[in-house]
Amino acid sequence: MKVIMIVLLFVLSWAFFASVGMGQSWLEIREGTKKIVEGRDPELKMTAKLEEENRAFYKWYFSENDEERWVVVNIFYEKSRSDASKQMERTNLHLPAGPGRKRSDLGDQAFYSVNEVTGSASIRFRIANVYFTVGTTSLTEVEELARSFEKLIKK
Amino acid sequence: MALAELGKYNDVSPSIPERNVIIRVKNGSTVIANKDAEIAGTTATIIDISTTSALESTVKKTTPTFDWEISYNDGTTWSSIGSSGPHTMYWTYAEPLSPAFTNEWSTTYPHLYDDALEYATEYADGSPDLNTIFGNLNAGVQSAITYDPKADDLIDVHPLQTYSSPKVGNCSDHAHLLRGLLRSVGIDGPLLYIWAGPNSTEATVFGLTSAPTDGVSFRIQKAAHEGAVQDPHFMYHSVVNRNNTWYDPSYGGDPYTSLAFTHVDISNPPQQKHGTKYTTPSFSGWYCPH
């Protein structure tokens, strides 16, 4: 009986850790994200910050003369891959111009869109149980940021 | 419009025996409140001094300084006991509506926010007229927030977050912000979602590229505006509806009463206009030739 319980406990633990991001806490993900953005462009100033139990929202902005740079990040730290996926689908439903194009080179699920007028771009991707949205001034920059965030999550 | 209840603490010197007095408050030369009181000693606390005088009849912000006076002889003569202020006062069209703000995710925010009153009264610019207030707030939001139909940053956050830089939002961000500002000054304006689909819960989606997720439900004829291309495609568009007149803070300009679609899916689904959005987008398999 004892052996069965131990095996069951092991299987349940494995199932849990297989479904969520391992190796880092919610705090580490948030701090890591901020460090990446601010380390990459120290001139950016944080203009909005919302940190809750399982989601975070940040805006950074820099403006001088005609130059304008910004980064906006949302992170959803869900209990499971399935919950993170649902959060992503929920976002897709609310976007007036649609979810954008799918891409397969980032995380487990990803969409991106580029504004044809301004050149600004955003990527929304899920990796394990974490769902990120990243928006910034160009596709190149948003791709670099998204790849850095992806590396934060140890599956 | 009613002035909020005032409280006033006065130091009286030299010490006086118990006696009846009248305290009055003046805004400029206008007496806005009187209060009979009994005072004694060197300190008197007089509370519940209130006024129902309409100091303003328009939607605006004022910062008056009030002059305080006391009469020891039943109002025959008055002596100054100082002034207070400036008091920041926001004059609303009617009692603020709660919850003032709701976001696209249906999260409600019941509190009344100074920031919202600040923006709304600034935009209203002292107008007493409902249509003008609507138009002014619509223009104010349009001017303050850059429209980008592809913006996807404000996920389930307070609509006032749109004001933090970069001040960019999609149509829903604009419409929810306008509605919240209007409700903060006591005016309701429900949101209206517009899309193409067979009924109030479904949207018929056609493709823009070979990637089926890159879908939309209609195209309209509009000049390019801020982050929106000329004649854009949308999944939906949202505006604020006042008696079937649509205020569009994304594009600004005059309100309109209809939005003509230039293209929809090849199955020709009808236009849907509802206070809540579809829940099921269905991809038709058709691709727009543009």
Q: Can you tell me the ipTM of this complex? A: 0.86
The list of chain B residues with pLDDT below 70 reads 1-13, 54, 209-213, 290
Q: How much is the average pLDDT of A39-60? A: 97
Q: Are A74 and A84 in contact (CB under 8 A)?
A: no
Give B-chain residues touching A98 at CB under 8 angstroms: 205, 208, 213-216, 234-235
pLDDT confidence bin for A23, thresholds 50/70/90: low
Distance from CA of A103 to the nearest CA of B (A): 10
Rg (CA), chain B: 27
Distance (Å, rounded) from C-alpha A141 to C-alpha A139?
5
Q: Which of A13-17, A96-100, B135-139 has the highest mean pLDDT?
A: B135-139
What is the DSSP pairing of strand B168-169 with strand B146-147?
A: parallel
Closest Cα to residue B242, out of B206, B192, B208, B180? B192
Nearest 5°: CA angle at B115, between B114 and B117?
Answer: 65
The yes-or-no verdict on residue A110 having pLDDT over 50 is yes
- In three-state secondary structure terms, B178 is helix
Q: How much is the average pLDDT of A131-151? A: 97
Question: What is the percent of chain A where pLDDT is above 70?
Answer: 85
Tell me what the pLDDT averaged over chain A comes to. Answer: 88
Cβ-based neighbours of B25, under 8 Å, separated by 6 or more: B6, B8, B31, B32, B33, B34, B49, B51, B66, B67, B68, B69
Nearest CB partner across the interface for B172, out of A96, A100, A111: A96
A to B CB pairs, distance under 8 Å: 110
- In three-state secondary structure terms, B262 is strand
Confidence at residue B160, expressed as pLDDT on a 0 to 100 scale: 97
What is the DSSP pairing of strand B218-220 with strand B233-234?
A: antiparallel
Distance (Å, rounded) from C-alpha A109 to C-alpha B31?
67
Q: Which of A51, A58, A118 to mutate to test the interface with B (most CBs of B within 10 A)?
A: A118
Q: Taking the alpha carbons of B171, B175, B176, B177 in that order, is the dihedral positive or negative?
A: positive
Distance from CA of A127 to the nearest CA of B (A): 18
CB contact under 8 A, A94 and B104: yes
Confidence at residue B21, expressed as pLDDT on a 0 to 100 scale: 94
The yes-or-no verdict on residue A112 having pLDDT over 80 is yes
Confidence at residue B13, expressed as pLDDT on a 0 to 100 scale: 65
Confidence at residue B164, expressed as pLDDT on a 0 to 100 scale: 97
Nearest CB partner across the interface for B153, out of A72, A111, A114: A72
Torsion of CA B6, B11, B16, B19, to 10 degrees: 0
Q: How much is the average pLDDT of A113-120? A: 94
Distance from CA of A151 to the nearest CA of B (A): 21
Closest Cα to residue B218, out of B253, B255, B261? B261
Nearest CB partner across the interface for B216, out of A47, A57, A98: A98
Give A-chain residues touching B168 at CB under 8 angstroms: 120
Confidence at residue A10, expressed as pLDDT on a 0 to 100 scale: 46
Q: Are A54 and A26 in contact (CB under 8 A)?
A: yes
Confidence at residue B4, expressed as pLDDT on a 0 to 100 scale: 38
Confidence at residue B289, expressed as pLDDT on a 0 to 100 scale: 74
Dig out the tokens for A34 from the structure: 């901020």
CB contact under 8 A, A135 and B151: yes
Confidence at residue B17, expressed as pLDDT on a 0 to 100 scale: 85
CB contact under 8 A, A102 and B213: yes
Q: Which of B104, B152, B234 to mutate to test the interface with A (most CBs of A within 10 A)?
A: B152
CB contact under 8 A, A111 and B213: yes
Give B-chain residues touching A70 at CB under 8 angstroms: 165-166
Confidence at residue B53, expressed as pLDDT on a 0 to 100 scale: 74
Cβ-based neighbours of B210, under 8 Å, separated by 6 or more: B287
The yes-or-no verdict on residue A44 having pLDDT over 60 is yes
Distance (Å, rounded) from C-alpha A24 to C-alpha B161?
29
Residue A51 in contact with partner chain B when CB distance is under 8 A: no
The DSSP call for residue A140 is: H
Confidence at residue A19, expressed as pLDDT on a 0 to 100 scale: 45
What digits encode the pLDDT tens for the residues B210-241?
655 678 999 999 999 999 999 999 999 999 99
DSSP A44-63: -EEEEEEE-SSEEEEEEEEE
Dig out the tokens for B9 from the structure: 């603490």
**Distance between alpha carbon B214 and the CA centroid of its chain, in Å?**
34
Confidence at residue A24, expressed as pLDDT on a 0 to 100 scale: 76
Question: What is the percent of chain B where pLDDT is above 70?
Answer: 93
CB contact under 8 A, A96 and B229: no
